[in-house]
Amino acid sequence: MSELGRLERVALREVWLGEATHFTPWLAMDQNLEVLSETLGLSLEVEATETFVGPFRADILCKDIFSDTFVLIENQLEKTDHNHLGQLLTYASGLEAVTIVWIASKFTQEHRSTLDWLNRITDDQFRFFGLEVELWRIGESPPAPKFNIVSQPNDWSKAVSKAAHALDEKELSETKVLQREYWDGLHDQLEKVSGPISGKRTAQAQNWMNYPVGRTGFTLGTAMHLWDRWIRVELYISGENAKTYFDQLMQEREAIDAEIGDPLNWDRMDDLPNDTRKDVRISLYLKDADPGVRVEWTSQHTWLANKLNLFHSVFAPRVRDLVP
- What DSSP assignment string belongs to 145-172? EEEEEEE-STTTTT-HHHHHH---GGGS
- The predicted structure's pLDDT at residue 276: 55
Q: Which residues of the chain have pLDDT under 70?
A: 1, 66-68, 96-97, 155-172, 272-276
3-state secondary structure of 203: coil
- The predicted structure's pLDDT at residue 233: 98
- The predicted structure's pLDDT at residue 161: 43
Sign of the C-alpha dihedral computed for residues 168, 173, 178 and 179 taken in this order: negative
Sequence-distant (6+) residues with CB within 8 A of 261 are: 310
Within the chain, strands assigned E span 7-10, 44-53, 56-64, 69-75, 98-104, 126-138, 144-151, 208-212, 218-225, 230-237, 265-267, 280-287
